[in-house]
Amino acid sequence: MPDEIEFQKLKKEYPDFFKNFSQKLIELANSEKTASQIAEVCLKNGVEDEGKIENIAYYITSVLLGSLPLEILPKALVTNLKIDIEVAKKISEEVNQLIFSQVKDELAKLYQKEAFAKPPARPKTPSPPLEEETKRPPGKDVYREPVE
């Protein structure tokens, strides 16, 4: 989690982001309480490596800042941090109860806005079936005209 000086610097560098973003989500993402809750959840679920705990905190902050949907969080932990799927699900559920539940309305608005901000995906058009090459019998083709 960034300290207060880094946070103020970010506010100066990206004023539009902070102006249009929920203050409650920003405060929760920057909170020391949130950081300690994440660490407790990780330790409780057997994740003791500080590097992994920091990376888990990064993904949780990504959810709070709108760049990672909550339902993808367990898969991101498994894929990117090589955490057991059951442990990832438990961490996600506990973080949902402890942290995300405090701001569930803001998260719902954020992700609803994100969904509408993206252009709708075009339906895939089926590709034409590949034409099978007809098998020719060996030998000269008597039905073809000679090319001059």
* Exposure class string for 109-126: b at 16+ Cβ within 10 A, else e: ebeeeeeeeeeeeeeeee
User: Which residues have a Cβ under 8 Å from the Cβ of 65 and sit 6 or more positions away?
Assistant: 21, 25, 26, 29
Length of the chain: 148
Calpha distance 7→109 (Å, rounded):
24
CA proximity to 51, closest of 83, 14, 3, 89: 83
Which residue type does 48 have?
Answer: E
pLDDT tens, residue order, the chain (148 aa): 455 666 677 677 777 766 777 888 888 888 899 999 999 999 999 999 999 999 999 999 889 888 889 899 999 999 999 999 999 999 999 999 999 998 988 888 887 865 444 444 555 555 555 555 566 667 776 666 767 6
